[in-house]
Amino acid sequence: AQKVTQAQTEISVVEKEDVTLDCVYETRDTTYYLFWYKQPPSGELVFLIRRNSFDEQNEISGRYSWNFQKSTSSFNFTITASQVVDSAVYFCALSEAISSGSARQLTFGSGTQLTVLP
């Protein structure tokens, strides 16, 4: 069975600190996709990034960066110089095939609640 584990339930940091959110996944698919979503207090999920299993190049986008390591099945997310507005629940998700030759579904981790204190 495919699984996404976010071991950190809650993290609190002080503004301007760097913070890394961990994500470990399990899959038997050879082709898969990984996503990070942010859920602010308002409730909607906001798409942040996707990575496919063939692309291990790490990415930086502004204050956000992602570290994908296939050898350890990890897809970690780092926020540099955190801000109060970064406070939210962050979900890692794995895209898997629902059935042979059919659709894909997202399997979500349980989320990490990030609180950035002023």
Query: What does the alpha-carbon distance between residue 31 and residue 24 come to, in Å, rounded to a whole number?
Result: 16
User: Which is it for the CA torsion 14, 66, 94, 41, positive or negative?
Assistant: positive
Query: Would you state the structure tokens that stand for residue 62, as one six-digit string?
Result: 């502004």
Instruction: Tell me, residue by residue from 43 to 82, as one string, x for binding to another protein by CB under 8 A and - for no binding.
Output: xxxxx--x-x------------------------------
In whole angstroms, how close is the CB of 69 to another protein at the nearest point? Answer: 19
DSSP at 85: G
Residue 42 contacts another protein per CB under 8 A: yes
Instruction: Tell me, residue by residue from 81 to 110, as one string, x for binding to another protein by CB under 8 A and - for no binding.
Output: ----------x-x-x-xx--xxxxxx-xxx
Query: What does the alpha-carbon distance between residue 44 and residue 109 come to, in Å, rounded to a whole number?
Result: 16
**Size of interface with another protein, in residues (CB under 8 A):** 29
Name which of residues 18 to 37 contact another protein (CB under 8 A).
Answer: 31, 33, 35, 37
Alpha-carbon torsion, ordered 72, 35, 49, 57, to 10 deg: 30
Query: What does the alpha-carbon distance between residue 91 and residue 67 come to, in Å, rounded to a whole number?
Result: 15
Residues near another protein (CB under 8 A): 4, 9, 31, 33, 35, 37, 42-47, 50, 52, 91, 93, 95, 97-98, 101-106, 108-111
